[in-house]
Chain A
Amino acid sequence: MSQSAPPAASIFRRHFRHFLLLTAVTVLGLVGCKPSDGSGAGSGTGAIKVGEFASLTGNEAAFGRSSHQGTVLAVEEINAAGGVLGRQLELITEDNQSKQDESATAVKKLISRDKVVAVLGEVASGRSLEAAPICQQYKIPQISPSSTNPKVTQMGDYIFRVCFIDPFQGTVMAKFAQSTLKAKKVAVLTDVGAPYSVGLATFFKERFVGDGGEIVAEQKFTNTDKDFKAQLTAIKSVAPDAVFVPAYYSQVTLIVLQARELGITVPFFGGDGWEAPELLQGSGSGEALEGCYFSTHFSPDQDSPRAKEFVKSYEAKYGAKPDAMAALGYDSALLLADAIRRAGVAEPTQIRDMLAQTKDFDGVSGMMTLDADRNARKSAVIIGIRDGKFVYKETVNP
């Protein structure tokens, strides 16, 4: 039937002329689009443009939206108070659909089209790592609110973050397991699909074993899992004193509920991925998680006036208590505004220099100082679960 069809090459030849024309026109058009110098956002008197890339849709939108809401709130408050250097902040947000390969494009757009002076984002370390080489290349400072993997800021001297990193968090929880939980034998349950989880588990194990503890079981799952009974059955058979689960809240509740069903009664503990009101939602979740602990950046119950104020305004705007992601999203914008103020000019290189010198910055998630590796040195908060509520337990200083 296809014998009479012309060879594809002739179609190719016939239309290639058009294709070439199209390409030529596009290229000409693009050359015209070359960003003109001098109209940069640094000078001028209009709004200071700040870029944000976030996962507002897709699989991990829950985290992305929390963080984004915090950032939006911060920008609104800064603007209501008269802006920075007498100019308003204009937040330009790009969604990456929680997908790979979208963040770099979004950030290039923010830098070259919108001419932002700095970029805020992202929650997930994987996607922060996609944007970082771009920000570094164009010398635009990037502040990640809550990517805790150490690699992120290693991408270059323009990359910062307002959260602590996983080695610190791992150390905090290893010490906590030994001193407060009095655990000698710990089982670890890791989400191998999440770099965050794998990293945190590694740092925890290093420290815990180094301090004389014993890891009696290492079980693994992936981020789409809902059924953990297989891993938990294996954990139950080695009878640990406690179980370390460095995972996201979306799975932690299910894990602990199923563990209790199987008759595992020891405490579970984890990192900042646990932090979300959703952790305790639903019947039985509170009881199951009773006596469990996690480390995080921020607690709404913290006794700091700054935090209290933030919780109040966040609740007024969104009708819900802020989680750690929201607090860090808020802090990332706040720190940027502070750096611009200190620089005295909205110019990327000078903002970078000021960011690098950040010392004792009073954020809602705590006092922070950026160290030589551009990571925030700040205290971690340990939160326990009592009577179905998050209860502030202690603050651990670096």
Chain B
Amino acid sequence: MKHPGARRWLLVAMAVAVGLGWAQDRLDPYFVDILTRIAINITLAVSLNLINGHAGQFSLGHAGFMGIGAYTAAAMTLFAAPHVLPGGAGGWLLGMWFLVALMAAGGMAALSGLVVGAPSLRLKGDYLAIVTLGFGQIIAVIFRNIEPLGGALGLQGIPARTNLAWAYGAAALTVYVVTALVNSTYGRGFLATHDDEVAAESMGMNTTRYKIVAFVVGSFFAGVAGGLAGHFTLSINPRGFDFNRSIEIVVMVIVGGMGRTMGVILAAALLTLLPEALRMLSGLSPSLRWVGETRPLLYSILLISLMLLRPQGLFAWKRKGTVS
């Protein structure tokens, strides 16, 4: 992690996050909602980008890890907190506990990432996609079958702990860790694994290990994002972490450009804003009502056109000096 510049920017981003958290109450709640979702989606997309973009694997189960995080963090604040925290604990202590809950959320997700990843990352390409897709399905079924976690109805009454400071703080940290990791000497291994796995292997590299590290780190941040999401929507249920949610995150990565952190950040923001923009547009006049009703249709057309016209991603600027 020899990038003092990156670290400086991390500090700036953190300061901005804290500033945003401070300004939260002065902002329109609808925009706070959108801004928060942007931050959570950035965390999800950038962490998936480490797996799909940098390490060249293809995971279709990111929402599953997010779900594990969401349930873990919710359980920590709903069930564990009353036993651990003294009655009437103040804001400072609650905040610390939320941090612990988020770390636990990330930890559980990372652990699951290890359990799923270690055996299946030996599989190549499509097969990994299928296994991760299956993992996402299985996770939803597991949550539905655990009665204390609310079964199909899920958990309600999760306290509102996520604010803009937490959300952007986590997003900034994710961006920093992913960037620093990829740029470290160690991280060169990811790119090598991505660019030519066979060649990397014949150079004596343990590509499976790199893939697992990418998978575990990516899962960790997905779990953190899940914890944030749960304390933001205040109710969670198994259906919120299904295949469709995973696809949304994958699309952010693809639109942003695989392996392009900046592009992925912009794509996450854009794709979160887009449906709301269409919602606004349809509210302008009754003659635009159809825009709202065809939002999902427009989304799919946009996706296909993008793939046909600009498959490298909307924000994939030319990499200087890249031979392709």
A92 at the interface (CB under 8 A from B): yes
**Which listed segment binds A: B23-31, B71-79, B123-131, B203-211?**
B23-31
Chain B hits for A111, CB < 8 A:
29-30
The answer to whether B183 has its CB under 8 Å from any CB of chain A is yes
Which residue of the partner chain, among A11, A19, A94, A198, contacts B260 with CB atoms under 8 Å? A11
The size class of the interface chain B forms with chain A is: 35 or more
A88-105 near B? 1/0 per residue, CB < 8 Å = 000010110101110011
CA of A199 to CA of B150 in the docked complex: distance in angstroms?
A: 11
**Given that A95-B295, A100-B239 are contacting pairs, would A126 and B262 also be in contact in the complex, using a CB cutoff of 8 Å?**
no
Complex contact A31–B323 (CB within 8 A): no
Question: B191 to A2, Cβ gap below 8 A?
Answer: yes
> Nearest chain B CB to A246's CB is how many angstroms away?
13
Check if B321 is an interface residue, CB within 8 A of chain A. yes
Q: Does A5 contact B (CB under 8 A)?
A: yes
A19 touches B279 (CB 8 A): no
Given A4-B322, A97-B295, A109-B30, verify A151-B156 contact (CB < 8 Å): yes
Encoded as 1 (CB less than 8 Å from any B CB) or 0, chain A from 30 to 49 comes to 11011100000000000000
CB neighbours (8 Å) of A106 from chain B are: 279
Say whether A318 faces chain B, with CB atoms less than 8 Å apart.
Answer: no
- Least CB distance from A392 to B in Å reads 32
A81 within 8 A of B: no
- B285 at the binding interface (Cβ < 8 Å): no
- With A13-B5, A13-B6 already in contact, the answer to whether A198 and B153 are too (CB < 8 A) is yes
A33 & B180 in contact (Cβ 8 Å cutoff): no
Select B239's contact among A6, A31, A33, A126, beta carbons within 8 Å: A126
Least CB distance from B312 to A in Å reads 14
Which listed segment binds A: B32-40, B83-91, B113-121, B215-223?
Answer: B32-40
Interface centre among B20, B179, B229 (most CB of A within 10 A): B179
**List of A residues within 8 angstroms of B296 by Cβ:** 57-58, 97
Pick out which of these stretches binds chain B: A69-77, A188-196, A274-282, A352-360. Answer: A188-196
> Are A12 and B29 CB-contacts (below 8 A) given A1-B323, A129-B156?
no
B interface: dominant SS: helix
**Chain A nearest CB: distance from B314 CB in Å?**
14
A133-B234 contact in complex given A4-B323, A108-B30, A198-B153, C-beta closer than 8 Å: yes
C-alpha spacing A106/B280, complex, angstroms: 11
Task: State whether B240 touches A101 (Cβ < 8 A).
Answer: yes
User: Is B183 within 8 A of A198, CB to CB?
Assistant: no
A198 and B152 within 8 A (CB): yes
**Pair A4/B183 contact, Cβ less than 8 Å:** no
Distance of B203 from chain A, by nearest CB (Å): 13
Q: How many residues of A contact B (CB 8 A)?
A: 58
A interface footprint on B42-82 (CB within 8 Å = 1, 0 otherwise): 00000000000000000000000000000000000000000
The docked-state distance in angstroms from the alpha carbon of A27 to that of B265 is: 17
B324 at the interface (CB under 8 A from A): yes
In the complex, per-residue mask of B272-305: 1 if CB is within 8 Å of any chain A CB, else 0 = 0000100100010000000011011000000000
CB–CB B235/A133 < 8 A? yes
User: A129 near B235 (CB under 8 angstroms)?
Assistant: yes
Let me know if A108 and B26 touch, CB within 8 A. no
With contact pairs A9-B183, A12-B262 given, residues A33 and B28 touching in the complex (Cβ less than 8 Å): yes
Known contacts A12-B9, A57-B295: A7-B183 contact under CB 8 Å: yes
Given contacts A15-B262, A57-B296, contact A192 B195 (CB under 8 A): no
A138 surroundings in chain B (CB, below 8 A): 29
Q: Which of B12, B152, B183, B195 contacts A1 (CB 8 A)?
A: B195
Asked if B160 is an interface residue, CB under 8 A from chain A, the answer is: yes
Who on chain A is nearest to B319 by CB?
A5
Is B237 an interface residue, CB under 8 A from the partner? yes
Q: A125 interface residue, CB < 8 Å from B? A: yes
Q: A34-B26, A112-B30 are in contact. Are A100 and B237 (CB under 8 A)?
A: yes
B311 within 8 A of A: no
Q: When the two chains form their complex, are residues B151 and A192 in contact, meaning their CB atoms are under 8 A apart?
A: yes
One digit per residue, 1 when the CB lies within 8 angstroms of any chain B CB and 0 when it does not, for chain A 151-191 equals 10001000000000000000000000000000000000000
Contact A112 B29 (CB under 8 A): yes
**B223-265 toward A: CB 8 Å interface, digit per residue (1/0)?**
0000001000111010110001100000000000001111001
- The answer on a CB contact under 8 Å between A151 and B153 is yes
Complex Cα distance A279/B12, Å? 60
- Please report the C-alpha to C-alpha distance between residue A15 and residue B6 in the assembled complex, in whole angstroms: 12
The CA of A130 and the CA of B234, in the complex, are separated in Å by 7
What's the least CB distance linking A72 to chain B, in Å? 12
Report if A8-B179 is in contact (Cβ < 8 Å); known contacts: A57-B296, A99-B244, A101-B240.
yes
8 A-B pairs with C-beta separation under 8 A? A1-B196, A8-B179, A8-B182, A9-B3, A30-B31, A56-B293, A105-B33, A105-B37
7 smallest CB-CB distances across A and B, nearest first, come from A100-B240, A195-B153, A7-B183, A4-B321, A112-B30, A108-B30, A133-B234
17 more CB-based (< 8 A) A-B contacts, given A2-B194, A101-B233: A5-B191, A6-B320, A7-B3, A8-B182, A11-B261, A30-B28, A57-B295, A94-B279, A94-B292, A100-B233, A104-B233, A105-B37, A113-B28, A113-B30, A126-B237, A155-B156, A195-B153
